[in-house]
Structure 1
Amino acid sequence: MGDKPAVGLLRRWCRAGLADLTAARREIDVLNVYPIPDADTGTNLQLTMAAACGGAEDGEQESVSALLRTVSRHALLGARGNSGVILAQLLRGAALALDGKAELDGPDLALALRAAADAGYVAVEVPAEGTMLTVIRAAAEAANDRAAQPDPTLHAVALVGAAAAREALAHTPEQLEVLRRAGVVDAGGRGLVVLLDALVSVLSGGRSEDALPAPSEPTPMPEVRLDPDDPAYEVLYLLDAPDDAIAPLRSALARLGNSLVVVGGDGLWNVHVHVDDPGAAVEAGIEAGRPHRIRITPLKEIQYSASASAEGCVDVPAVRGVVAVAAGPGLGELFGSAGVTVVEAKPGRPSSATEVLAAIRTAGTAEIVVLPNDPDGIAIAEQAAARARDEGLRVAVVPARAQVQGLAACAVHDASRSFDEDVVAMTAAAGHTRHGAVTVATRDAITSAGWCKAGDVLGVVEGDFALIGADLATVGRDVLARLLGGGGELVTVVTGADADAGLAAAVLEGVRATRPEVDTMVYDGGQPRYPLLIGVE
């Protein structure tokens, strides 16, 4: 059975929005001077949208309401930075407004935009005009005005909302002095315009003529640096806590720093704040509930200069790149959407050192982290890294032995950290991800689990054949149960080229029923030979 029209539309919007944010990432990063000039708003929005798309591709949702709930939850779990956390809250507001909706029309879209804007303003402790909040509010007001007029089609409402967002974005320098001095529009607002234009494009079947193109050249602007009086650290964490614990948490964090955003609900929250004492910010979370996936980033190491070129243009070259070996086209797109240089693995053999070295050179950065994502590829990646070091590059190989370990490492990659800190964090994330897979035997053979015949389904746990069965879903559930035996907070399932549409849902059905505290993400990896790859973090 195919998607209902609106469900299919929203899935296409998620894909288009992620693709357009990926294309505009560098441009948006360059615009980023508020609240701090750390040049990562485009990257944070892209990564947050990539997480949201993981929910959109789950394939189980049969209504607009169900799809938006899943998308907003995945965005909440994967939100990065101030802008990403706010985007997650906008999606949550829209999801709550459309609760129970099976389809989507123009007035529904207007209602969703209004709820998104309201949710955004509530989430930010000290809302500022001239930001992405201003842009979403302008879109919502215009959309609601159009919805009250005759023939408020979905396309008509979306078109008016996107146009109002572009106009509001153009006026953001008049509302924030730091934008006026820098000669730029708000970076987060620009990202929202990209997403609204993507919706118009999907509805119309083509690019909006008024859409703001991503410039091919850096944007001229004067030098912008961090204020020495600003807080020294950005603190992000997920928080399991009852709703009534959030108001005291907000008060405690507001006393510690600024740029405070707390989003979520129903017991799960995403907390973002800039502070001088990150330990105190985490302790406040402990008093409220259970903080996890804690990220602490030193802000004062960041310098954002507009004097990078002789023409006085901002050119923020990536100082650190990531190279990853991808076992399938879907995995390649997934890594690529995170700004990773991808090496396509050939079926049946690991990538060569020459191919990995070529990707390291293509990354175009002075520092590179390599993710082999295969046990046989680790030594090959080390050979390529050694040759790259001879060329003056700084290269480290994270010993990721599976594709899901590489995905986990990418999720914590942060170029604002020191090289060593980033490598350690990525290595830890990969190492803390237990991995498994399901495949089909091509011939009779003896395995660690016993004798198998051609056509038997084999379950792989941590690189060893551990199960033999007759059904993909049953073996997949057994593999997942073994991986979860040691605990876990997040299950990632990557479906292969030969996987049926309902395979991932069948494997995850028991977990969702018996372990509701475990989050799940499903991706279409397109890899050959393995209908399922499974990771547990």
Structure 2
Amino acid sequence: AAAEEEDLRLVLEKVVNEAKESVTRTPSLLPVLAEAGVVDAGGQGLFIIMEGMLRYIRGETVEVDFALETAVDLHVPSEDEYGYDVQFIIQGQDLNLEEIRNTIAAMGESTLVVGDSSTIKVHIHTEEPGTPLNYGASVGSLSKITVENMQEQYQEFILSQAQPAVTASVTSEEICDIATVVVAQGPGLVRVFESLGASAVVPGGQSMNPSTEELLKAAEELQTDNVIILPNNSNIILTAQQAQKLSEKSIRIVPTRTIPQGVSALLAFNYQADLDTNARVMERAAGEVQTVEITIATRSVQLNGVDVRKGEVIGLLNDTLAASGNSPEQVIEEVLRQMKAEEYEIVTIYYGENVTQGEAEAVAARISQDYPEQEIELVNGGQPHYLYIISAE
């Protein structure tokens, strides 16, 4: 029986390799495919099926998770403004990260493409989910595919619901023996961290700190003894350290104080490195990002030379009060000036639950006008409390 299984594995390996090469050649056979920059969908589907069979024979896990709201037909009607949230991982050899990032960016909005020459994580909002999936499959092997419908009714429902105690998405520990626990609030921010490989997301943030028990439970429920916790708020660091003391697992705290620091730290996670090395590298990466937070003052105060009246818009730069004013646009402009945003390459804007898409796009357009050399990215974070969270790196 073992010999027969080995023969089947060898045959499937040859079939899968030839199928992949055949699919890659389809654009040269059909000009319409070459013009669209995609491969033949039918052929790609057969290749994925056969690759799945091969992975099963090898004992490898293939997880494809479709949300309940996902339509069967991947072609979205043009009148659907919201499209789909698509996430997947590309694995291969000598992957060209910059080329893949630029190609994916042209396929939709809120794109996030990170990784290295062997593993690349992709997150994109698009009306044609088949397009980035086909492209990703043409340059490597796909895994952890998630396609989520973002219709307005569904999005409003998600925003109106309380988050569960722990939203777990086992990812990093499936590739290595290190898991990551992240604290975040807002459906968009949760999706960002999950797309970057967070193993568990515990709801929490400014004015909503998770308990030691919640962080401890999140770490204990993971299938590994090596855990890294990203608090993403200065008020949660001590809570995370207390959970670390109570656990018998090997837990390291990367003391991230803001959401952008958490994103930067998770981007620096290395699947080939050990626990302590990852903790050091992630902490260093977190320290290299600048964070701007825009919110409404709940009381009048004079701090750091800034006079603030209750109800005014205020801007924090790396957790320090930097400016106040009558509008978010005015305050953002001043804080970015103080930060010297022109010295950074990428500015990412996460807009909150009380900001409309139109308002956020207007802010992004203004920043792009003020800083034409910088790459401006806009993400619907859906976070409470902060109108905008802006990172520069």
TM class by shorter chain equals 0.5 to 0.7
The answer to whether the aligner puts 1:368 opposite 2:227 as a matched pair is: yes
1:82-231 to structure 2, matched below 5 A, reads 129-130=17-18, 134-135=22-23, 137-138=25-26, 161-170=40-49, 183=57, 201-203=73-75
Structure-1 residue corresponding to 2:327: 471
Structure-2 residue corresponding to 1:420: 276
Tell me, yes or no, if the aligned pair for 1:169 and 1:186 is still in contact at 8 Å. Answer: no
Q: Which runs of 4+ in 1 moved over 6 A?
A: 179-182, 268-272
Tell me, yes or no, if the aligned pair for 2:237 and 2:255 is still in contact at 8 Å. Answer: yes
Structure-2 residue corresponding to 1:358: 217
The answer to whether the aligner puts 1:431 opposite 2:272 as a matched pair is: no
**Structure 2 CA distance, aligned partners of 1:494 and 1:403?**
10
**Structure 2 CA distance, aligned partners of 1:453 and 1:514?**
27
Q: Which amino acid aligns with 1:395?
A: I
Q: Which amino acid aligns with 2:337?
A: A
Structure-2 residue corresponding to 1:442: 298
Structure-1 residue corresponding to 2:141: none
**Structure 2 CA distance, aligned partners of 1:414 and 1:316?**
13
**Structure 1 CA distance, aligned partners of 2:382 and 2:316?**
18
Deviation for aligned residue 1:186? 11
Aligned to 1:492, the other structure's residue is in SS state: strand
Q: Which amino acid aligns with 2:230?
A: L
Distance 1:527 1:129, change over 3 A: same
**Structure 2 CA distance, aligned partners of 1:464 and 1:184?**
53
Tell me, yes or no, if the aligned pair for 1:399 and 1:427 is still in contact at 8 Å. Answer: yes
Distance 1:423 1:486, change over 3 A: farther
Aligned to 1:202, the other structure's residue is in SS state: coil
Q: Which amino acid aligns with 2:74?
A: V
TM-score by length of 2: 0.63
**Structure 1 CA distance, aligned partners of 2:251 and 2:331?**
39
Q: Which amino acid aligns with 2:291?
A: H
Structure-2 residue corresponding to 1:483: 339
The answer to whether the aligner puts 1:327 opposite 2:185 as a matched pair is: yes
Distance 1:186 1:511, change over 3 A: farther
Distance 1:183 1:503, change over 3 A: same
Deviation for aligned residue 1:347? 5.8
**Structure 2 CA distance, aligned partners of 1:264 and 1:425?**
22
Q: Which amino acid aligns with 1:338?
A: L
Structure 1 range deviating more: 522-531 or 135-144: 135-144
Distance 1:505 1:186, change over 3 A: same
Aligned to 1:502, the other structure's residue is in SS state: helix
Distance 1:403 1:316, change over 3 A: closer
Distance 1:345 1:272, change over 3 A: closer
Aligned length: 297
Aligned to 1:429, the other structure's residue is in SS state: helix
1:496-535 to structure 2, matched below 5 A, reads 496-513=352-369, 515-535=371-391
Distance 1:272 1:472, change over 3 A: closer
**Structure 2 CA distance, aligned partners of 1:271 and 1:357?**
29
Distance 1:451 1:484, change over 3 A: closer
Higher helix share: 1
Tell me, yes or no, if the aligned pair for 2:351 and 2:389 is still in contact at 8 Å. Answer: yes
Structure-2 residue corresponding to 1:403: 259
1:241-280 to structure 2, matched below 5 A, reads 259-262=93-96
**Structure 1 CA distance, aligned partners of 2:307 and 2:54?**
71
TM-score by length of 1: 0.47
Structure-2 residue corresponding to 1:6: none
**Structure 1 CA distance, aligned partners of 2:285 and 2:357?**
29
The match for 1:377 among 208, 222, 236 is 236
**Structure 2 CA distance, aligned partners of 1:351 and 1:181?**
39
Tell me, yes or no, if the aligned pair for 2:184 and 2:205 is still in contact at 8 Å. Answer: no
Structure-2 residue corresponding to 1:278: none
The answer to whether the aligner puts 1:348 opposite 2:207 as a matched pair is: yes
Which stretches in structure 1 are left out of the alignment for 5+ residues? 1-30, 36-127, 148-157, 174-178, 206-257, 275-314
Aligned to 1:376, the other structure's residue is in SS state: helix
Which stretches in structure 2 are left out of the alignment for 5+ residues? 1-8, 78-91, 104-113, 119-172
Q: Deviations over 1:472-524 (max 9, x none)?
A: 11211222232235822221211111113233333333543454442232221
Q: Which amino acid aligns with 2:209?
A: P
**Structure 2 CA distance, aligned partners of 1:264 and 1:406?**
22
Tell me, yes or no, if the aligned pair for 1:172 and 1:185 is still in contact at 8 Å. Answer: no
**Structure 1 CA distance, aligned partners of 2:337 and 2:323?**
12
Q: Deviations over 1:395-451 (max 9, x none)?
A: 100010001110111112122212122111211111111111111123333333433
**Structure 1 CA distance, aligned partners of 2:176 and 2:59?**
22
Distance 1:517 1:366, change over 3 A: farther
**Structure 2 CA distance, aligned partners of 1:414 and 1:397?**
16
Aligned to 2:384, the other structure's residue is in SS state: coil
Q: Which amino acid aligns with 2:267?
A: A
Tell me, yes or no, if the aligned pair for 1:318 and 1:365 is still in contact at 8 Å. Answer: no
Structure-2 residue corresponding to 1:115: none
Higher strand share: 2
Tell me, yes or no, if the aligned pair for 1:456 and 1:469 is still in contact at 8 Å. Answer: yes
Aligned to 1:201, the other structure's residue is in SS state: coil
Tell me, yes or no, if the aligned pair for 1:436 and 1:461 is still in contact at 8 Å. Answer: yes
Q: Which amino acid aligns with 1:203?
A: H
Q: Deviations over 1:86-120 (max 9, x none)?
A: xxxxxxxxxxxxxxxxxxxxxxxxxxxxxxxxxxx
Distance 1:533 1:273, change over 3 A: closer
Deviation for aligned residue 1:185? 11
Q: Which amino acid aligns with 1:407?
A: V
What RMSD over aligned residues (CA atoms) do the two structures have, in Å? 4.4
Structure-2 residue corresponding to 1:150: none
